[in-house]
Structure 1
Amino acid sequence: MTEHPVGFSAQGPPETVLAPEPSHAQAALAAALDVGDPAAQRDAVAAVVARWPRYLDAWARLGELARDDVEAYAYFRVAYHRGLDRLRQSGWRGSGYVRWAHDENRGFLRALDGLRRLAGRIGERDEEQRCSEFLLQLEPAWERIDHD
């Protein structure tokens, strides 16, 4: 059984909230993101990923700090697939909302958006379109949210 069950309501599709990361992992990522030098920041975030390889936001942030598009695409793809696993473990059955309003969901949504952007950059237009549609299914307000 999961700690964050899928919520059903008469108002629409179910909503899934991922379990939070350990507070010490969150603190480590925050400290890594505060490192000033870009190369050192990337290395610090990579160390967080190495210590907590299931930490979706750490993978997504590593994608944002990647040295090139192919590297970024790979990091976002890892985060996306790990995120699908985490969603399923949280009771998600392939449909329903995964809202940005819940901090716990932001790593997955950030990864999916990163995968969408990078798929477009490397010429994977079909994947870019699928990711865009999936993102809007999970969070219909995505295009109106300040998600930086």
Structure 2
Amino acid sequence: MEFQDMLAPQPIRLPADPAQGRDASDPQVLFAHPESPLAWAQRAEQALASSSAPEETLVAYAFARTGYHRSLDRLRANGWKGWGPVPFDHEPNQGVLRAIAALALAARAIGEDAEYDRCRQMLSDADPASVERLLEERKG
């Protein structure tokens, strides 16, 4: 028998992200959908993957930080109270979780270990499987 916490919030299932299915390497996607965590996460991931200079790593961090804050806005607007499950298997949630992971990775890249740990814990709290999927497999 599975025990369920009656006080725990229901899992968040976000509506579709407005940038879903669009290529965030095109800056027009962000001009059209600046509220999209997915678009910011994609730009941060691309910038992290291609960064070869400290300035580029800082740009990746800025993209990731913006995506993180857009993620918090989106979560709160959809009933999230600062904790509770945000399942990765619900596709519209993936942009939010990717943005949090991108911030963790960018923070680690600039030596901000406390922020990496905080974001890693936030991912684990939202969906423990997302840590392996978004952080562990991207260790470099």
Bucket of the pairwise TM-score, normalised by the shorter protein: 0.7 to 0.9
Normalising by structure 2, we get a TM-score of 0.79
One-letter amino acid matched to 1:116: A
SS in 2 for 1:117: helix
**Which runs of no fewer than 5 residues in structure 1 stay unpaired?**
1-9, 34-41
Q: Corresponding residue for 1:77?
A: 65
Find the aligned partners of 1:125 and 1:21 in 2 and give their Cα distance.
29
The structure that is strand-richer by fraction is 1
RMSD, aligned α-carbons: 2.0
Separation (CA, whole Å) in 1 of partners of 2:119 and 2:73:
16
How does 1:80-119 map onto structure 2 within 5 Å? 80-119=68-107
Tell me, in whole angstroms, the C-alpha distance in 1 between the residues paired with 2:83 and 2:20: 28
The number of aligned residues is 124
Matches of 1:59 and 1:121, distance apart in 2:
17
Distance 1:93 1:133 in 2: 16
Is the aligned partner of 1:52 residue 2:42? Answer: no
How far apart, CA to CA, are the structure 1 residues paired with 2:73 and 2:131?
Answer: 25
- Residue 11 of structure 1 is matched in structure 2 by 4
Contact 2:17–2:38, Cα closer than 8 Å, also in 1: no
Deviations, residues 96-147 of structure 1 (Å, cap 9, x unaligned): 0011000010001001111001101101111011111111001111244478
Preserved CA contact (<8 Å) 2:12 2:78 = yes
Q: 1:104 is matched by which residue type in structure 2?
A: P
TM-score, normalised with respect to structure 1 = 0.75
Residues 101 and 123, structure 2, Cα contact 8 Å, conserved in 1: yes
CA distance in 2 between partners of 1:64 and 1:145 (Å): 14
Q: Match for 2:67: what amino acid?
A: A
SS state of the match for residue 95, structure 2? helix
Kindly tell me: are residues 144 and 123 of structure 1, through their superposed partners in 2, closer, same or farther at Cα, counting changes over 3 Å? closer
C-alpha deviation, 1:18, in angstroms? 1.3
